[in-house]
Amino acid sequence: MGSTDSKLNFRKAVIQLTTKTQPVEATDDAFWDQFWADTNTTVQDVFALVPAAEIRAVREESPSNLATLCYKAVEKLVQGAETGCPTEREKQVILNCTCILTRILPYIFEDQDWRGFFWSTVPGAGRAGTDEMDDDEGARPLAESLLLAIADLLFCPDFTVHSHKRGPDSVENMQSIDSCEYIWEAGVGFAQSPPLNYIHDLNRTELLRLLLTCFSEAMYLPPSSDNNVLNPWVTFFCSTENRHALPLFTSLLNVVCAYDPVGYGIPYNHLLFSDYREQLVEQAVQILIVTLEHDGGVPHCPASPSSMEEQESTGPENLFVNYLSRIHREEDFDFVLKGLARLLTNPLTQTYLPNSTKKIQFHQELLVLFWKLCDFNKKFLFFVLKSSDVLDILVPILYYLNDARADQSRVGLMHIGVFILLLLSGERNFGVRLNKPYSIHVPMDIPVFTGTHADLLIVVFHKIITTGHQRLQPLFDCLLTIVVNVSPYLKSLSMVAANKLLHLLEAFSTSWFLFSAAQNHHLVFFLLEAFNNIIQYQFDGNCNLVYAIIRKRNVFHQLANLPSDPSSIQKALQRKRKSPDVISRTSSQETVSMEGSHPAVPAEPGTLKASLVAMPGIDKLTEKSQVSEDGTMVSIPKTDSPHTAHPDQTEMERRRLSSASSTSFWAPTPEWVLSWKCKLPLQTIMRLLQVLVPQVEKICIDKGLTDESEILKFLQHGTLVGLLPVPHPILIRKYQANAGTAMWFRTYMWGVVYLRNVDPPIWYDTDVRLFEIQRM
């Protein structure tokens, strides 16, 4: 009964606040205490009992009351951080204030006039002069007091961490606590695993949810390519002002990487017990990806305190980024990589009892975290690629890409997966690792094959290109760049994968496809480059690919003789109007899919999705490096590359990225076709066909062969040494970050955070401006 009463009293207090036209004094504790002193409300209750319309009404009609409510709630948190909340009642007050601030902050951020409120000191808010807050921290903006209080409370004994003192009267002094001794979980830099305590997990989750809400001011600013505009909340929280920065960073990382959703392996255990650790892990990984977005810059502060103006233009160092980049012990890397691989693989685990194991939902946040680790810590990237452990990351990524290919609400997931593979493919070791046989057979909606991880990658990419939705077309360049980057190292492609690559070439080299957009010919260049790399550097083990090339030799002859006169161009474009599909799906010889797999399906009607900014073209995403004799990479300057396979690339990309309406004005001309047709790298393949086709035909006639295996045996023992053109240098396109990708990551990451926080729906129906929320 008590909880119903407290909800009623809380609701009465809210109504009083919305109906009072006169300002309520900050010293009127009897009024303000109604919001947090005697209530026992959950965060869901607070969201239900404080409607959006009423928060906006108070903001517009009695702003001073909203200001005082925020100020008083922050004051309670500051007091709790000082005393350490020894009593249960004080702990409940802290939780109530935390929930109220989580509810109100988005409505402060959505109004431009209010955005500076937390960065100002509140004049006269404690005008009785008795407030400790005014005495101790005279000039601290409210935001800083709030952030420091949250940090302190996250290491508060018997509230969010286990107390180390034992004895009836012992209270640990919050000011002198060494929070490095209270790290939440064993792992990086900390060996002891404290006992699980679900109350502590719940309290941490509430405080982290408020922290995430503080950081979410970024959602209310429109997209900007200016990377120097920093989030003041993140900048301050990750600075040396926060004495708990290191233990908190370590706690968040360790809690995420140590989490095992399957628990003790009891089937259906997730249906019997509420897993409080999962909620904590979700908030922790979201805090990590949001704080790791910035690595210094100019904080944007509506009312920038003088301490920040004194910083040089690079801005204060982000300690979270600093700590992440300095992890270096092998055992730490191993702990992080195994933890992320275990969690990413979790949704793929198949059991004989349907729904018997817990499936996590935060794989997108984990992929962003993995991306950040590779981006900020090159030693981690090399560790990942040093062994075949990288394949434990690759397989789940390919699974997600294949599963999401038909669902437009998951286009962001497709991008992050492809970007990670593009980043990895820039390193030689990734290509080498792909030669490991693929034997685990995760049920995927792809043809059955026997082969390596390289075959898996090619078969999944083919599936995305031929059966994905239209909005994935900008990713085709990236997918084929990955194939080109790994191609010099692929020792033996299966027949299934070889046929898939030839099918892509066949589809992309039809005249109507080549002539229907200014950049479509790039896809043919990528595929030819991949074939050339395999023929020149891995001919011996690749008889399947050589055989597929011989069988489809007419495709190469047609490319070499591509007509470029005006009437042929017109005819090709008329053919396109009759068959608007990008790629013919019939000639791809679709075979039986793997057992236990489900077809990729479009989004359910009504699914919410966040819009994304446009991605830069592949030439902006990557920089070219040449592999020299000793295996080292030499960067190729962008300007002097007339010999490369992509003529007029920047011009093409400019056309491609300009608005959709202008693309309709572009028309192919004979000069344009000739400008790139003469650069098609066909010499190696034509020479191969010239040498091998007569030999294969002779064997077939002499022995009356129709059996593929005999021909493959001949090709396997054949050689082209001395017959092919001099091998070209290997060209690798390595991912490079830029302002466009940084902006894409920011909108994607916050879109994920927005859509994943539905209980309570923190930002739902507020005026976010970083992206649009669209209903499918």
Distance CA 619, CA 478 (A): 10
Residue of 166, 149, 146, 148 whose CA lies nearest to 158: 166
190-195, Cβ contacts within 8 angstroms, sequence gap of 24 or more:
190/250, 190/254, 193/258, 194/161, 194/162, 195/162
Which pLDDT score is estimated for 310?
Answer: 38
Burial of 647 (C-beta count, 10 Å sphere; 0-12/13-18/19+): middle
Rounded to the nearest integer, the mean pLDDT of the chain is 86
**β-pair partners for 761:** 758
User: Does residue 619 have a pLDDT over 90?
Assistant: no
The string of pLDDT tens digits covering residues 391-426 is 999 999 999 999 999 999 999 999 999 999 999 999
The string of pLDDT tens digits covering residues 288-314 is 999 998 665 444 444 444 433 333 445
The stretch 494-508 carries a mean pLDDT of 96
The DSSP result for 168-204, as a single string, is: TT----TTT--GGGG-SSSBTTB---PPP-HHHHHHH
User: Does residue 133 have a pLDDT over 60?
Assistant: no
Distance CA 161, CA 493 (A): 53
Distance CA 201, CA 449 (A): 45
User: Does residue 514 have a pLDDT over 90?
Assistant: yes
Which pLDDT score is estimated for 139?
Answer: 73
More confident residue, 212 or 229: 212
CB 588 within 8 A of CB 552: no
Which pLDDT score is estimated for 575?
Answer: 80
The string of pLDDT tens digits covering residues 531-585 is 999 999 999 999 999 999 999 999 999 999 999 999 999 998 888 666 545 554 4
Residue of 556, 540, 516, 449 whose CA lies nearest to 672: 516
Token duo for residue 250:
């370590």
The stretch 79-104 carries a mean pLDDT of 94
Token duo for residue 769:
């401006």
Residue of 20, 14, 51 whose CA lies nearest to 34: 14
Which pLDDT score is estimated for 306?
Answer: 41
Query: Among 193-197, 291-295, 350-354, 656-660, which stretch is predicted with the lowest mean pLDDT?
Result: 656-660
Claim: this prediction has a pTM higher than 0.95: no
Distance CA 690, CA 684 (A): 10
CB 746 within 8 A of CB 297: no
The string of pLDDT tens digits covering residues 657-705 is 433 334 457 899 999 999 999 999 999 999 999 999 998 888 888 777 6
Distance CA 56, CA 35 (A): 18
The string of pLDDT tens digits covering residues 234-243 is 999 999 999 9
Residue type, 416: I
The string of pLDDT tens digits covering residues 22-46 is 899 989 988 999 899 877 788 999 9
Query: Among 285-294, 600-609, 646-655, which stretch is predicted with the lowest mean pLDDT?
Result: 646-655
Backbone angles phi, psi at 603, to 5 degrees: -65, 145
Q: Angle of helix 363-376 relative to helix 276-291, nearest 10 degrees?
A: 40
Burial of 644 (C-beta count, 10 Å sphere; 0-12/13-18/19+): middle
